[in-house]
Structure 1
């Protein structure tokens, strides 16, 4: 018979998605060696390094390369010794990588954008979310799939997808669907990098219009900025401001997702589960770094180093997620599963192009 432990003895444990669950406190366990993380983390790091090499040598988007290599190495997840290292890379790589993005954004950058472009950016983001939600509904998928696809497209691709998935939870979107969303996001961003600058030239957009178009509609940060500078330096500067403003809006989007997901897609929670916080801790830390970066002039080396570290950690998180994904489930998803991301991408392009052409 279990002894009465008193009301203050209950312990709390957090799952992958930051939910706090009430549980009976186990007996003190022996300290486990850190070596248990090595097999999975080492495999993930090697795959990430290979993805970086492919990206550097052949121009493949680094996130897409990490996803594909991770899926190719899916068989290693059959060995339970890799699980803790892979879980560590996916969970903590995601959170620290997003936090470090705070060094790339300041409040002054957002203010310098101006009211009219900011209104256009908000309209583009709204169109992406609405289009993805409608596509998910038409293809008989849950609203959580639409929210994940639309929010990821509206903000910054894989980084936003990882943050939103932490709020939405795998009870609503399974791992295979999430991985497929990452793959389609990376592919769409790569196609946009090649085609959007050519489209801007074809339509004879000026530098401000072209910079807004690529900054507001290309998912990945590096590819959005790269597409802008491929047009011209002034277009690149405009694309940078617009894109970093989208990154800064990650926190409000995650907050709205956390606030609405329970009503949009209710699921039964385990007994004793506490309410999910409005903003996960890593998003609060991201906002704190944005504030610090706005108040104090950081040396350029700090921002550059933080960006490199953020990319590396997010690459590890994406690669680890792909390795842990069951490819048999991925193959069963079918064409309907890609429609929310495609709908959000098309909506972003159409609205951004219309706003750039006739308003800016």
Structure 2
């Protein structure tokens, strides 16, 4: 029995290894380019992956690419929990937390409504709105994993990742200038940057480019937004359960979301050494980059080129609305 199980595991590993290896190599190349040219690593991973999309059509790499785009993605999302601690969130008080809840909720709801008005499926609005309101490419990948299977799902996911990565890079440069223009205090500037820039890395870069106080506040507010990923995933899963007809319904809280919650709770105890936290963050980053490389290999560039103007307008509109809403709430004293 043990021999048979070992044999099956060995055969499965041999089947998945080529696709995973090529995804990892694409991720390594993307990281190298990102470090040397300053563009988002997710964007490089997508573009390099799409250049190798022929590998996912047939041949030895196909099973491993499918596995990487699905299971490795979930692992990366679960490990995001090691970025969170409850004391970090409590340190800024209730006002920034309330601002984050309002901003995330209103942005996602409005995105769903506008997406329907533009003729898209409401799930596309949930995907783009969640990516814009929570944590960029990571949120897009997490929500995609929780949403029901759809013929256009991977295309929508890749478009969203490309959009938020590009917009986040622009925001990292432009938003500190906006904070200075509105004469925001260091704490207010940190709240503004943490509540509006899509990706964690760009939040850190923009915040600490202004001051240490701004960088610290921006990072914690951003982590509050990351914490919103869990309730939004639950909502997405409830939609999936409602749309499933017959057969076994998916669990209310997916396994990767449970992992996210458990790791966040463990990390909040203070028992996790900093070295383990850094290792978990690095593993999460690599898992997500490898997964997005595999997703890129599953998509052809001509499919993304056919999305048209409306999806672009939707994502740009969500980003502009998020900035305006945060500035208004800050002026109201939140």
Name the TM-score class by shorter chain. Answer: over 0.9
- 8 Å CA contact 1:40–1:84 kept in 2: the answer is yes
* CA drift at 1:172: 7.0
Out of 190, 194, 203, the position equivalent to 2:182 is 203
Q: 1:99 aligns with which of 75, 78, 90?
A: 78
8 Å CA contact 2:88, 2:220 repeated in 1: yes
Q: Secondary structure at the match of 1:156?
A: helix
Q: Give runs of aligned pairs for residues 54-203 of structure 1, distance below 5 A.
A: 54-171=33-150, 173-203=152-182
What is residue 308 of structure 1 aligned with on the other side?
282
Structure-2 change in CA distance of 1:251 and 1:159 (3 Å): same
Please say if residues 145 and 340 of structure 1, whose CA atoms lie closer than 8 Å, have aligned partners that are also in contact.
Answer: no
Determine if contact 2:128/2:315 at 8 Å carries over to the other structure: yes
Deviations 1:54-73 (A, max 9, x none): 11101111111111111222
Distance 2:152 2:97 in 1: 31
The two structures have a TM-score, normalised by structure 1, of 0.86
Contact 1:209 1:357 in 2 (8 A): no
Matches within 5 A, 1:220-235: 220-235=199-214
* Cα distance, 1:323 vs structure 2: 0.8
Please point out which of 295, 303, 307 is paired with 2:269: 295
- The TM-score with structure 2 as length reference comes to 0.92
* Contact in 2 for aligned 1:211/1:238 (Cα 8 Å): yes
Unaligned runs of 5+ in 2: none
Does the CA contact (< 8 Å) of 1:192 and 1:218 recur in 2? Answer: yes
Post-superposition shift, 1:173? 4.4
Partner of 1:352: 326
2:256 maps to 1:277 = no
Q: Is 1:247 matched with 2:226?
A: yes
Judge which range, 279-288 or 71-80, deviates more: 71-80
- Distance in structure 2 (CA, Å) of the matches to 1:244 and 1:74: 34
Residue deviations 1:251-297, cap 9 Å, x none?
1111122224555xx4x64xx52112111011111111111111233
Judge conservation of contact 2:144–2:153 (CA < 8 Å) in 1: no
Deviations 1:163-188, CA, capped at 9 Å, x for gaps: 11122123274221221111101111
For residue 338 of structure 1, report the CA deviation from its aligned partner: 2.5
Alignment pair present for 1:333 and 2:307: yes
Q: Which runs of 5+ in 1 are unaligned?
A: 1-27
Q: How far apart are residue 108 of structure 1 and its match?
A: 1.4
Aligned residues: 327
Deviation at 1:350, TM superposition (A): 0.9
Please tell me whether Structure 1 or Structure 2 has the larger radius of gyration of its CA atoms. Answer: 1
Residues 54 and 65 in structure 1, CA contact (< 8 A), matched pair in contact too: yes
Give the one of 27, 36, 41 matched to 1:48: 27
